[in-house]
Chains A and B, each alone.
Chain A
């Protein structure tokens, strides 16, 4: 179990508004899951493993589509639009 204060902090970092019952159930459930995944510490020590082999695969930054080809389809999916712009709340105060 983790505390409700920790759940509130996590929810805020995750940009999730939670209801009171959710805070209660999550502090039990997430606590149990974190307890379970903590077993990883007995499997791996800090220094006994090779570095993992992921690498970046990059491509040239090229324009692949004609201007405006997808604009309407993409903007149409936004909850609010104004012309060809996605309409959002003010970002700077």
Chain B
């Protein structure tokens, strides 16, 4: 049969694979053909693995041996280029990682390998996951499949674009301040950021360790749940991992935050689309509750203190001695300065310097100390909210996908693209972006639902209601 990639989900593919309608090899070939034809239009793949069909053949053998209830067997997936797969290259879309080969696999990757997932290749991102458009990649921007003059979002722009363009059935991304949800909204697909600690970060190249989470980008909520259920779990290699709650009874109340849409720079079409989502929620039987969450409007300031602080610390490992590439100098100091100066991109350098500033002894209390206190206040806002509601609802982004180049010379404007998404990372709560219609120009909108900490299962249940 011809495979209808456009309407395919993991669930449907699995049924076809066990029903013998097509093999894992045929499915992989269909994606490879699409990649061959269309990747040049959007520049999403940095590498297509040479052993894709070999991986698919192994999956087919497992099907032949009667493996039936493993929904991920033979499923073609793309990987954000900051996830380690043993023996394969990883660059984080940076020149400084040139030539790096992963010495081990990330825990999440290892779990997917055991399930027999077929990895198609590495996809583009903002350098070291710092950005909201993939314009910070050392390998060029990934274009939005809905309009190639616009960005795909970021930092997991490659992951969202390949799922939207049917160049992969699903993808993994990472989310530090919205890097899964924002590109998913821009490209019209589903993106999920788990509760902090639900998925091991072992083998994810660190950006901001207290905020980073690995998560799926897919065509449906159920597909995200299938991947999440596989990659979640306590891991001895990541001391911050936690066990999450089983599905609880859904509270049929959804919170909206008072005054949140009054902040400057929210697109009028986004506001209108959000009003429609509120009506949809009511139609689904949810009661809408207006919440006072006085601190979350400051989440972006908190984020742009904590994130660069942790970036400046995490990026210190790139010293020109241990990984990737170096620029030679006449002494040790010169090698540090030139390697980092020449091989890291502007946004990475900016964040390292801001981090160094806010952590310096004279400013530590005024910035980093206060940001950590504010973080507790934001967490408290969420704890209070979830005593009443099952989810908090916001638009995913303040505007649909913007034009390539529109914000690239104004980093502060670029940061504002994360205004609705950073809160979930600051509070550690799970959050999902689901498609909620298109603009007059045909660009997708995303609706964000945030759930209670550790209550990932309940959030999936609520999100599924919206998909009907």
Residues of A near any B CB (own CB < 8 A) = 7, 10-19, 22, 25-26, 29-30, 32-34, 36-37, 39-41, 43-44, 46, 49-50, 52-54, 57-59, 70, 73-74, 76-80, 86, 88-91
Contacts and interface: CB of A to CB of B under 8 A. Distances in A.
A88 B410 CA distance: 38
Contacts of B336: 15
A80 B332 CA distance: 14
A26 to B, nearest CB: 7
Nearest to B210: A54
B70 interface: no
Given A36-B301, A52-B372, A15 B346 contact: no
Contacts of A11: 341, 353
A40 B353 contact: no
B353 A26 contact: yes
A49 to B, nearest CB: 4
B263 interface: no
Contact of A78 (B104, B295, B316, B321): B321
B302 A52 contact: no
Given A16-B349, A17-B338, A79-B321, A44 B103 contact: no
B229 to A, nearest CB: 24
A54 B367 CA distance: 18
Contacts of B370: 40-41, 43-44
18 contacts: A7-B353, A13-B360, A14-B340, A16-B353, A17-B338, A17-B341, A22-B346, A37-B367, A40-B374, A43-B301, A44-B370, A46-B365, A52-B375, A73-B103, A73-B104, A79-B320, A79-B321, A89-B335
A65 B410 CA distance: 47
Contacts of B356: 10, 13-14
A14 B352 contact: yes
B314 interface: no
A82 to B, nearest CB: 13
Interface of B: 99-101, 103-104, 210, 236, 239-240, 295, 298, 301-302, 304-305, 312, 316, 319-326, 329, 331-333, 335-338, 340-342, 344, 346, 349-350, 352-354, 356-358, 360, 365-367, 370-377, 410-412, 415
Contacts of A40: 298, 301-302, 305, 367, 370-371, 374
B322 A10 contact: no
Given A22-B349, A73-B101, A86-B322, 9 more contacts: A14-B340, A25-B346, A29-B410, A43-B370, A44-B370, A49-B376, A70-B103, A79-B320, A80-B321
Contact of B331 (A10, A19, A70, A89): A89
Contact of B304 (A36, A43, A80): A36
Which 8 A-B residue pairings sit nearest by Cβ, starting from the closest? A17-B341, A73-B103, A17-B337, A49-B373, A79-B326, A57-B239, A89-B332, A15-B336
A91 B329 CA distance: 13
A43 B373 CA distance: 10
B353 A14 contact: yes
Contacts of B374: 40, 43-44, 49
A33 B410 CA distance: 10
A53 B103 CA distance: 34
Contact of B353 (A10, A19, A57, A80): A10
Contact of A32 (B319, B346, B412): B412
Nearest to A50: B376
B350 A33 contact: yes
